[in-house]
Structure 1
Amino acid sequence: MRADIYHRAVVGVLVTILAAPILATLLYSLSRHWGATILPDDLSLSWYWQLLHDKAFMAAFGRSMAVCLGALALSALIIVPTAFVVFYRFPRLDKVMSALILIPFAVPPVVTSVGLLNIYADGPFAINGTPWILLGCYFTIALPFMYRAMANSMASMNIRDLMDAAHLLGASTSLAFVKIILPNLSKALMASLFLSFAFLLGDFVFANLLAGSHYETLQVYLYNVRQTSGHFTSAIVMSYFFTALILTWLTARFSK
């Protein structure tokens, strides 16, 4: 009984610590004025109403969603078949891939951005300030999350035995991949997609250095309006949080 109370108390303290900043930001975004008093003077949805009627915010939010979803679609189309080929045909290459996916974490984002700016500043691939350079950059960011999730899932399902059984039943390699392997990877794929999306949607360094105001994303927009009003920026932050919360719910729903 005492152990149960202790565990509940620990969980309650952790939840309180994690939820307090979010609740404070939410309350600040709902207040018209918050001065010397502990609680706000007046609660209103005016900041959210202003945010929804801000064309610059809606455009920035749409750009962020477009570039993040595009990068994740590209990552899924390339990484999932690549992981399958590695584990089914060339299992020894998994060690090489495990080393390669650490490169995006080893190189600081500023260094990566400077290198990309030097490569794509001019010439036939002058794509600085466009969403295309963000698509390629975000692909490298999503690569470690997605490949590691796919690798762990494939390593646990004994992929070679499943493919051999499918071949004995007359299925081709491509059909077995679509009908057998992909359904077994659905949970890992959804988890990696959500984790990558949350990371990409919150990116500021790459978006600001590679595209900036030429292709203003949500984080760049938040940086540009940071000095307008604390209530307004809090509403932007909570909009980002609500989007992540909805996507988490959708991920759990589709994973079933």
Structure 2
Amino acid sequence: MSNAKLYHRLVVWLLFLILLLPLAATLVYSLATQWSATILPSGLTLKWYVALWNDPRFLVAFGHSLVVCVGALLLAIFLVLSLLFVIAYHFPKLDAVMNVLILLPFAVPPVVSSVGLLQLYASGPLPLIGTPWILIGCYFTIALPFMYRAISNNLQALNLRDLMDAAHLLGASTFRAALIVVLPNLRKGLMVALFLSFSFLMGEFVFANILVGGRYETLQVYLYSMRNGSGHFTSALVISYFLVVLLVTWVANSLNRDKQ
């Protein structure tokens, strides 16, 4: 191995260790019986994890987060896939316009958006404040840029028009060709978009706290409400959240690898 390659690997591993250090410290703290004035904890225990996963309020908040995230992602998949196919196949010149429009959710701070949504949906014909529906809509706008960009990059790598023309020659309709020929070729981009968005949405706090709060408590709102409790307990919550995201990502990668 050359000195340059060894140097590059050392730099990468050093950066990886630096990024891993806060997570490792949180993990140790979540397992510690007591850790205050010593370099190492005085003992290890799983009681914080047992207390967390036996807490009905945590389980309900965790379920609420999953429902909202999955609902927003399903909505995003349906709309983004349909939109991307129409643009790529029928109106390719609109791609430049869409690249600007999908960045708009990041142009407005969540706090500002939340205040506007409070005024729109607190009353009137659609009183959505305090319900999961308002969060699904908000989370859809957050996931939209990730979904659109990842799938669009994957779609641009395909020769879409030739694929569709070949499918039409074989007797397939446009819908059937898109479903059977194009969609399987977008699997990698779709998986990347899904789990990047999922990990981001599971950690979203501002919309959830302002628009629903304790009326439909999500995982991050629950974590915020427990900030004055035991640090060991909240550390166990953070590690559990990280492990759930890691597990879901690993399962998705395994399924994706098996289908290749």
Aligned to 1:20: 21
Specify the alignment match of 1:97 in structure 2: 98
1:110 paired residue number: 111
Equivalent pair of 1:129/1:215 in contact (CA under 8 Å): yes
Matches within 5 A, 1:39-50: 39-50=40-51
Q: How does 1:209-228 map to 2 (within 5 A)?
A: 209-228=210-229
Residue identity matched to 1:27: V
CA distance in 2, matches of 1:91, 1:50: 54
What whole-Å deviation, never above 9, does each CA across 1:24-76 have from its counterpart, x for those lacking one?
00000000100211000010000000001111101100100111011101111
Are 2:230 and 1:229 equivalent residues in the alignment?
yes
The match for 1:60 is 61
The separation in 1 between residues aligned to 2:31 and 2:162, in whole angstroms, is 56
Unpaired segments ≥5 residues, structure 1: none
Aligned AA for 1:132? W
Root-mean-square deviation (CA, aligned residues, Å) is 0.9
Give the TM-score, by structure 1 length.
0.98
Code of the aligned partner of 1:83: L
1:99-141, Cα deviation, whole Å (9 max, x unpaired): 1101001111111111111111111100101000001111111
Alpha-carbon distance in structure 1 between the residues aligned to 2:136 and 2:12: 39
Q: Which residue of 1 aligns with 2:246?
A: 245
- The gaps in structure 2 that reach 5 residues or longer are none
Under a length normalisation based on structure 2, what TM-score does the superposition of the two structures give? Answer: 0.96
Identity %: 59
Query: Any runs of at least 4 consecutive aligned residues in structure 1 with deviations exceeding 3 A, and if so which?
Result: none
Q: Tell me, in whole angstroms, the C-alpha distance in 2 between the residues paired with 1:60 and 1:31.
A: 25
Separation (CA, whole Å) in 1 of partners of 2:121 and 2:162? 45
Moved more, 229-238 or 152-161: 152-161
Question: 1:91: how far off?
Answer: 1.1
TM superposition shift of 1:188: 0.3
How many angstroms does 1:4 deviate by? 2.9
Mapped partners of 2:9, 2:151: distance in 1: 34
Contact map agreement 1:70 1:135 (CA 8 A) in 2: yes
Q: Is the 8 A contact 1:52 1:58 kept in 2?
A: yes
